[in-house]
Structure 1
Amino acid sequence: MGTSANRRGPKPSIPLIPDWIEPLPPEVEPATEPVGPQQEPTGPVEEPSPTDDGVDSDETTSPTQPADEEGAQPAVPLPANRFNTSQRGFQKAVKTNNFSGLRRTVKNYVAQGLGGARTGARRLSRSGRAVASFGAVLGDIRQQGLAATLTRLNLGQLVGQPVVTVLSALMTHVCGASALLDDAITREAYADTITRVVADMPDLDLEHLTEAQAGEMLAVFLEQSIVLRLICDIGRSQTVATANPTDSLRVQQELYQIVNGMVHSSILPELTQSMADPANLNREIQRIYFVALNAITTAN
């Protein structure tokens, strides 16, 4: 704007940092402390998988793998263009309104975009923690009763309220309130889970929650989290303000039906059984994400 003087920048006689500023102390590695009963993760700690799109990746819990995969070599960094094929398939389906190829797109997304079931499960580990938290709450409701569980969570005023009200009030406890993208995806998946559960289980009574109902609710949550992770990675055109809401909901519904059909029969018995061991629930849920993604990659 004509008001700035021509500067030559820092030089030995004019350092960038003034000499009167005290030098910073050397960095010290934080001491490693044992994980307490209220701390996560409960599984083995590994380096997070690399991402290319700025997605939150501070999770370090890796899913428990089958015995023949223990001790596997660290994953090779994924290529920057790993989503290209699945993005093209997704965009074609949306533009042509022909969803016959979406199943192949989902398989390609897991195999190439996520780098396979193991890396994909690691990337979804924050959603896994939320599913485990939801499972713990449902287990408490079954064992201790709805009123006692809600009172412990400072939600005692919701006793007697409709299912949708109670489940909605649990969102912060289940999913957290952080601004991380992964957690935002998880919260949206939880909200969609409530909508689907209320629609598909009109007679659901949390006062008399059955083991089968709890397992079904966890399965829906896990499936929805995979769908929304996929949309965030390869279908962002459906998440912008200019997207047609009706079209976006239709695409999401198609994707859910595909994922549900690929994984539901594999994960439902495992999820139901996992709630019998609350101490290892988080570890088991992380493993079941691997089972779900592996079912997608091996589906016909």
Structure 2
Amino acid sequence: MPADAAPASDDTPVPQAVPAAPSDRPAIPQPADPGRFTSARGNFTRFAKSGGSDRTGLGRAVASYVSSAVGGSRQAAKRMGASRGAGARLLGFLSDAQARGVREALRALDLEELAGRPLAEILVGLADYVCPGAGTIDEGIAREAYVETIVELTTDSLTDLDAFTPDQLQTVFELYATHAIEARICNDIGTKAVTVPADAQAALRVQAQLRDFIRGGVSDALTTARAETPTLTPDRIQSFVDRVYESAFEFLQARGEAEVNQ
């Protein structure tokens, strides 16, 4: 120490580290692996090229999609995005119509003029309420599934909403969730695969088998969810729908693995 330097005092302030200024730049998320759908897409394409005879290919495609490509059933359900909200609004309306009557349920949405119309016409009138957007792929999937559901209902005997039973209500939601999951999977791994067979009948068979496969998983999920939540209240509907989607993907993965192991 220099002779003229004063000894350090106990009161001498200790220099403090200056915290780094927070960056204004948002964190950049890691890009998704572009090859994550490769296995599922390859197996789905083989299934499509077989004209629907390669059930092992279908099983591998769906199981791989859920377990590997999207990271499990919970992530697969989150991927449904707009279809979860649309499903909850559809189920909420149907539940309200069953509890209070169709006219009252429609009046709550300022659509009372639809009362007394066939189910398909009522659902068409509800399109902008159930699926309020169509600007993104996710919103487009939700709306496409809704339109497909209405088309399918026109060929069924479900026409009188006033006389709906709980099982019929489940059928409508089951159809919607099936079409939504089908559209999501096809968008991710098989947008053009169902057109691979040169034979138009084979292409239709491929599409029908995929839809039946998915509907089986959705039906199992709905049956389980209804046993756990026999009474749906407005505050439970969204969580019910989310649980159905997650369970449906769990069942689909299990069904896919069962096809592979047969």
TM-score normalized by the length of structure 1: 0.67
Q: Distance in 1 between matches of 2:194 and 2:113?
A: 35
**Alpha-carbon separation, structure 1, partners of 2:80 and 2:245:** 8
1:110 paired with 2:92, answer no
Q: Considering only CA atoms, is the larger Rg found in Structure 1 or Structure 2?
A: 2
1:135–1:218 Cα contact (<8 Å) kept:
yes
Give how far 1:258 is off. 0.8
Q: Which moved more, 1:148-157 or 1:213-222?
A: 148-157
Tell me which of 73, 89, 112 is aligned to 1:133: 89
CA separation in 1, counterparts of 2:131 and 2:226? Answer: 18
Equivalent of 1:183, from 109, 129, 139?
Answer: 139
Paired letter, 1:91? T
Higher mean C-alpha displacement, 142-151 vs 185-194: 142-151
Query: Are 2:150 and 1:194 aligned?
Result: yes
Q: CA deviation at 1:274?
A: 6.3
Query: Could you tell me how far 1:225 is from its partner in structure 2?
Result: 1.0
CA distance in 2, matches of 1:221, 1:128: 10
Matched-pair identity in %:
27
Task: Give 1:88's aligned amino acid.
Answer: G
User: What are the superposed Cα offsets for residues 7-51 of structure 1, whole Å, 9 maximum, x if unpaired?
Assistant: xxxxxxxxxxxxxxxxxxx97x9xxxxxxxxxxxxxxxxxxx977
- Structure with more relative contact order (C-alpha pairs < 8 Å, separation 6 or more): 2
Task: Give the whole-Å Cα distance in 1 for the aligned partners of 2:83 and 2:201.
Answer: 26
Q: Could you tell me how far 1:114 is from its partner in structure 2?
A: 1.6
Task: Verify the 8 A CA contact 1:121 1:286 in the aligned structure 2.
Answer: yes
1:232 aligns to what? 187
> Match for residue 42 of structure 2?
88
Unaligned runs of 5+ in 1: 1-25, 30-48, 53-78
SS where residue 154 of structure 2 aligns? Answer: helix
Query: CA offsets per residue over residues 74-128 of structure 1, 9 Å max, x none?
Result: xxxxx32111011111222223313422132112111122211111111113211
Question: Given that residues 51 and 205 in structure 2 are in contact (C-alpha distance below 8 angstroms), is that contact kept between their aligned partners in structure 1?
Answer: no
How big is the alpha-carbon RMSD for the aligned residues of Structure 1 and Structure 2? 2.9
TM-score, normalising length: structure 2: 0.76
- Aligned partners of 2:206 and 2:100: how far apart in 1? 40
Q: Please tell me whether the aligned partners of residues 218 and 244 of structure 2 are also in contact (alpha carbons under 8 angstroms).
A: no
2:223 to 256, 268, 289: 268
Say if 2:129 is the partner of 1:173.
Answer: yes
- After TM superposition, list the pairs within 5 Å mapping 1:240-251 onto structure 2: 249-251=204-206
The structure 2 residue matched to 1:159, chosen from 111, 115, 125, is 115
The count of residues paired between Structure 1 and Structure 2 equals 227
More helix by share: 2
